[in-house]
Amino acid sequence: MDMLRDADVDPAPLDGKRVAIVGYGNQGRAQALNLKDSGIDVVVALRGGSGSMVEAESAGLQTALLDDAVSSADVAMMLAPDEVHAALYREIEPHLREGAALGFSHGLSVRFGLVTPRSDLDVFLLAPKGPGTALRSLYQQGKGMIGVWAVEQDATGNAQAIALAYGRAIGCARAGLIASSFAEEAEADLFNEQAVVWGGVPELLIAGFETLVEGGVSPELAYLECVGELHLIAELIEARGIAGMKEVISNTAELGALLGGKRIVDDGVRRRMAEVLAEVRAGRFAEALGNEEASGYARLEEARRKARSTLLEATYQRLKGGA
């Protein structure tokens, strides 16, 4: 797989072009500021009454209402939450210029049919592989965050060049741009969120904490063992890879990991992971996300409330000196 870096990417396709960043949240803020610092003409596109207008303007960015911003732009980047993309695209579509480029930072809404872009548009993906806060801070340090790019629709013949130049301008090509497709990026990202880093790992930490507490260990020690050490392994894996991480931990920890790891993550876990992937590909998660938005995020609100009232959370607060 080719990994493109700054020297491989021509910035010229964005010369003299105006980019509308639709939404000023986690990704919108970071991408708008990185583009501006890379010398790109940026306008932040916001809905009427948006609380983000003052914040964006005080960061030195131009802002405009959705229709004005989009109609003045050569590239419109969809950086509002995925679950509002369908309605938002319907709203902005009449204002998108003929032959403009429409960009996404996640493949979900195109892969699962929430958005079917007009046929005259170039449609590209530039998905930084991490949160906007880190995308911005890395850029400010002269570094970058790996980004995944793809072209779904090449109406003008320039879609790939614009995607790559965009990835360079937000700093991702400093770390590397990896080619993919909307489908591959969306499916892999949704799978990871459910089964691995954001779904699987926290549940493993909680289960470990509760097992130790039920076994008579103090909540504080259980927390330090099962949750508090996570950043240590994350840093080691980031710096050395998984094999390298194992080489620098004690023989005790390494043998424990060898004996215990595959006992916990057994064939049953792998079978359920495969089920998650199949469900993601069948569009079940995209459907659930739409239902969640339609319900006013009832399930998410309830889960957030419950997570705040656990022994694990109270222990975290005590250890942090917050309670």
Residues at the site binding ligand NAP, with contacts judged by CB under 6 A: 23-28, 46-47, 50-52, 79-82, 84, 88, 105-106, 127-128, 131-132
Q: How far apart are CA 223 and CA 247, in angstroms?
A: 25
Of 88 and 213, nearer to ligand NAP (C-beta) is 88
Where does residue 216 fall: left (phi above 0), alpha (psi -120 to 50 degrees), or beta otherwise?
left
Q: Are strands 75-78 and 18-22 parallel, antiparallel or unpaired?
A: parallel
Q: Provide DSSP, 214-271.
A: HTT--HHHHHHHHTTTHHHHHHHHHHHHHHHHHHHS-HHHHHHHHHHHHHHS-HHHHH
Could you give the 3-state DSSP secondary structure of residue 150? strand
Long-range CB contact pairs, 52-58, < 8 A, 24+: 52/24, 52/25, 55/24, 55/29, 56/24, 56/29, 56/32
* Residues labelled as active-site residues: 106
Contact between 205 and 226 under an 8 Å Cβ cutoff? The reply is yes
Of 27 and 153, nearer to ligand NAP (C-beta) is 27
* List of E strands, the chain: 3-4, 18-22, 41-46, 62-65, 75-78, 101-104, 122-128, 147-153, 177-179
Q: How far apart are CA 195 and CA 192, in angstroms?
A: 5
Nearest CA among 243, 229, 127, 130 for reference residue 186: 127
